[in-house]
Amino acid sequence: MKTLSWHKVLNAKTDLAENRIITVNAGNKQVALSHFEGKICALDNHCPHQGGPLGEGSIENGILRCPWHGWDYHPCTGKAPGFDDGVDAYPVEEREDGIYVGIEIEKPHQTTISDVMAETMVNWGVDTVFGMVGHSNLGFADALKRLEKKERLKFIAIRHEGAGAFAASAYGKLTGKPAVCFSIAGPGATNMFTGLWDAKVDRAPILALTGQVATQVVGTGNFQEVDLVRAFQTVADFNHRVQKDSQHAELMSLAIKHAIINRDVSHLTFPDEIQEIPVDDKIAQTPEGRMGEMQIIPATKSIADAVQLIKKSKRPVIVVGHGAKFNMPQIIAFAEQLNTPVLTTFKGKGLIPDKHRLAAGVLGRSGTPVASWFMNECDLLIVLGASFSNHTGITPKKPTIQVDFDPLVLGKFHKIDVPVWGELSTTVGLFSNALKGEINTIDQRKELVDRWGIWRSEKRKRLLEDNGRGVSSIAVFDQLSKLISEDAVVCVDVGNNAYSLGRYFESKNQDFLMSGYLGSIGFALPAALGAWAATRGKRQIVAVAGDGGFAQYMAELCTSVKYGMNIKIILLNNSELGKITKEQRSGGFEKFATDLHNPDFAEFANGCGALGLKAKGREELESKMKVVLDYEGTALLEIITDGQLI
């Protein structure tokens, strides 16, 4: 005899009209509930042919018709007239307090393939998933739900899969650990590509998990069918379809291991039919004994050659890129030993505070004249974790030592005097030990003070500029430098707002995240979601964006509000794709298609449940920025800016 669990589905019989049918939930079971011939009847909601929702059908001439393909059933017995198939009927009781349906008590959950793989993922340190649940990933999503209930995982339901991939990319850039972006098959998966490429080219570990249509219909042109293994071949370093007979825990372990060690994209796709297959003897894996220490010790000759160059140098400078992010204490100690300036790439902004006595600021197009002056005056470049991109403009005309964990990056664009393959902190430690008592460098600290003085004097002059068309970017970042938390995470979009931030914002102990090599507009707000998740709200998160970039993923403001994220958006609105206009004019083209028709962004923020304020002039900039930065929760400051004063 079946043991039933009774679930209230209506307050009274009269709540459902005669000859009407609806869908109700009885526990985890969907039921087609009808009022037929004076009584309430309950059937399984799923038509056995295509799974059509019978509760969305209609009763015609005493017969319930499936809304998908018109198959007929009796509303109370579930039998199909003239055929031997049908749907299950459930007992119904009319009680004093309402209508109840009896459903067989669910059996205890049996571990599935999805459970094993999801638990392995969490064992490897993944604690955050950014994703969207849909019909082709429901089984794996259910496994994620169970982990979230145990507080071993945080699932953040984003509004667009592209935002989820950007958020996971930012998480990886900030922490060096992978987060997950999660989607359905077809368009959900392809929406993630831009964020995945952002992670790939900036060497951030990331794991993409996608649902997939059932294997039997792959290649038939089925609804939302895309060959995802082929589609992900260009972006994913590790790229596999999960199968029934896969070594499931091992497959997930390898995916995460590849992402961490290679600082790259891993992708697993889950056909619909395998996600809920029970497993009896498979257990989740852990990373124990699966990875060695990431200490690449350079060759003895490389160390000796580099040390000889440094010994000869009088005016060396150190250039650090984003690749040096997790090695800065050792690098700063080495710089202090040499008394040499430290320049950063734009992606490396903030790796050394601008107030540090050896900091020379950002080098390149988004940089300061302080950094470029010291590069031009040096007699040796020591480049650590930087890529020599055109944007940074590291000169090839100076003697150069380059250190990187990736041997393919060494000498990638031109000949390097001493290329050194090694992990950065280990390598500079070896340099330091070998140079003790043999350093002949000039103390450049006084020159640093002088050059910063010249640049700050220039910035004060620019602060006075006002064309009457809005606030200057100089004023925006002057105020932000003063008011932001010293340990904030700043997520920067692409455009003139980024150039101005690199040039005018003076960093303390903030971290900066940006779409570096890919240079994708729209990065800032989704990245702020990732940064908040990575810090679990323990640090102030600030997204800096232009109107063009913010508008691409502005719906994620609702995501921020939903999860109580303490995110601040500094939005520079000049009603224009200003950087593109600048490039058009620089290239001798007429301005074309760069004007923007914008909503009232401050009111949009208020409509999402955030705080939205607008500053139209410099006189109200400080007070409103302070309110936004001090607000507990999601807040946006829309600043009407002058696109010429950048």
Q: H or E segment at 5?
A: strand 4-10
3-state secondary structure of 489: strand
Q: Residues of 344-380 as b/e, b for ≥16 C-beta within 10 angstroms?
A: bbbbbbbbbebebebbbbbbbebbbebbbbbbeebeb
- Percent of the chain clearing pLDDT 90 (strictly above): 87
Query: Could you count the other beta carbons within 10 Å of the beta carbon of residue 94?
Result: 12
What would the two tokens of residue 61 be? 């001439």
**Does residue 283 lie within any of the structural domains?**
no
The answer to whether residues 98 and 149 belong to one domain is: no
Q: What is the pLDDT of residue 176?
A: 95
What is the CATH number for 398? Answer: 3.40.50.1220
What percent of the chain is predicted at pLDDT more than 70? 100
Question: What's the CA gap between 346 and 98, in Å, rounded?
Answer: 65
pLDDT tier at 292, thresholds 50, 70, 90: confident
Tokens, residue 337: 């030993």
pLDDT tens digits, one per residue of 453-508:
999 999 999 999 989 889 999 999 999 999 999 999 999 999 999 999 999 999 99
Q: Is 280 domain-assigned?
A: no
Residue 457 exposed, middle or buried by CB count within 10 Å (0-12, 13-18, 19+): exposed
- Radius of gyration for the chain, computed over Cα atoms and rounded to the nearest angstrom: 30
3-state secondary structure of 407: coil
Which among 331, 317, 328 has a CA at the least distance from the CA of 401?
317
pLDDT at 1: 62
Q: Which two tokens stand for residue 483?
A: 């008011």
Asked if the structure places residue 289 within a domain, the reply is no
Q: Which two tokens stand for residue 51?
A: 């799974």
> Are residue 327 and residue 249 in the same domain, yes or no?
no
Distance CA 410, CA 401 (A): 10
- Extract the tokens encoding 461: 């002059």
Q: How far apart are CA 60 and CA 20, in angstroms?
A: 10
- Give residue 645's pLDDT: 87
* Segment 562-582 mean pLDDT: 95
Whether 217 has a pLDDT exceeding 80, the answer reads no
User: For 427-440, how does the pLDDT look when each residue is reduced to its tens digit (9 = 90+)?
Assistant: 999 999 999 988 98
Any domain includes 530: yes
Domain, as residue range, for 528: 465-640
pLDDT (mean) for 283-309: 92
Q: Do residues 469 and 605 share a domain?
A: yes
Residues 546-553, mean pLDDT to the nearest whole number? 96
pTM: 0.93
For residue 436, the tally of other CB atoms under 10 A from its CB is 8
The verdict on 576 and 431 lying in the same domain is: no
How far apart are the C-alpha atoms of 645 and 463, rounded to whole Å?
10
pLDDT at 2 over 80: no
Q: Span 261-280, mean pLDDT?
A: 95
* Tokens 């609702």 -> residue: 558
Regarding whether 473 and 339 lie in a shared domain, the answer is no
Q: Could you tell me if 485 and 551 lie in one domain?
A: yes
Q: Are 158 and 131 within 8 A, CB to CB?
A: yes
Please, is 198 exposed, middle or buried when counting C-beta atoms within 10 Å of its C-beta (0-12, 13-18, 19+)?
buried
Nearest Cα residue to 131 out of 177, 189, 63? 189
Domain annotation covers residue 9: yes
Residue 151 domain-assigned? yes
- Asked if 337 and 439 sit in the same domain, the reply is yes
Domain-ending residue, one of 104, 132, 161: 104
Q: What pLDDT was estimated at residue 215?
A: 79
How far are the Cα atoms of 492, 522, 523 from residue 519, in angstroms, in the given order?
11, 9, 9
Across-strand partners of 24? 31
Residue 341 lies in a domain: yes
Q: What is the 3-state secondary structure (H, E, C) of 545-581?
A: EEHHHHHHCCCHHHHHHHCCCCEEEEEEECCECHHHH
Q: What is the pLDDT of residues 99-153, one digit of tens each?
A: 999 999 988 899 999 999 999 999 999 999 999 999 899 999 999 999 999 999 9
Name the amino acid, one letter, at 564: G
Q: Tally the domains of the chain.
A: 4
**246 and 310 fall within a common domain:** no
Same domain, 270 and 344: no
CATH code, domain with 63 = 2.102.10.10
The closest of 236, 240, 233 to 266, measured between CA atoms, is: 236
Is 584 a residue whose pLDDT tops 70? yes
Same domain as 230, residue 172: yes
Would you say residue 85 has pLDDT above 90?
no
**Contact status, residue 240 vs residue 251, Cβ threshold 8 Å:** yes
Q: What is the enclosing helix (H) or strand (E) of 43?
A: strand 39-44
Higher-pLDDT residue of 292 and 315 is: 315
**Cα–Cα nearest to 206, from 260, 156, 137:** 260
> Pairing mode, if any, of strands 29-36 and 39-44?
antiparallel
Q: Which of 274, 291, 310 is the last residue of a domain?
A: 274
Can you tell me the distance from the alpha carbon of 160 to that of 232, in angstroms, rounded to the nearest whole number? 19
pLDDT of residue 646: 85
* Residue 288 located in a structural domain: no
Question: Integer distance in angstroms from the first to the last C-alpha of the chain?
Answer: 77
Indicate whether 394 and 481 sit together in one domain.
no
Within this chain, do residues 92 and 218 fall inside the same structural domain, yes or no?
no
What CATH number has the domain bearing residue 624? 3.40.50.970
Please give the backbone phi and psi of residue 259, each rounded to the nearest 5 degrees, phi first.
-60, -45
In terms of pLDDT, which residue wins out, 505 or 296? 505
**CA-CA-CA-CA torsion for 116, 121, 127, 129, nearest 10 degrees?**
-90
Q: Count CA atoms within 13 Å of residue 73 on its CB side.
A: 33
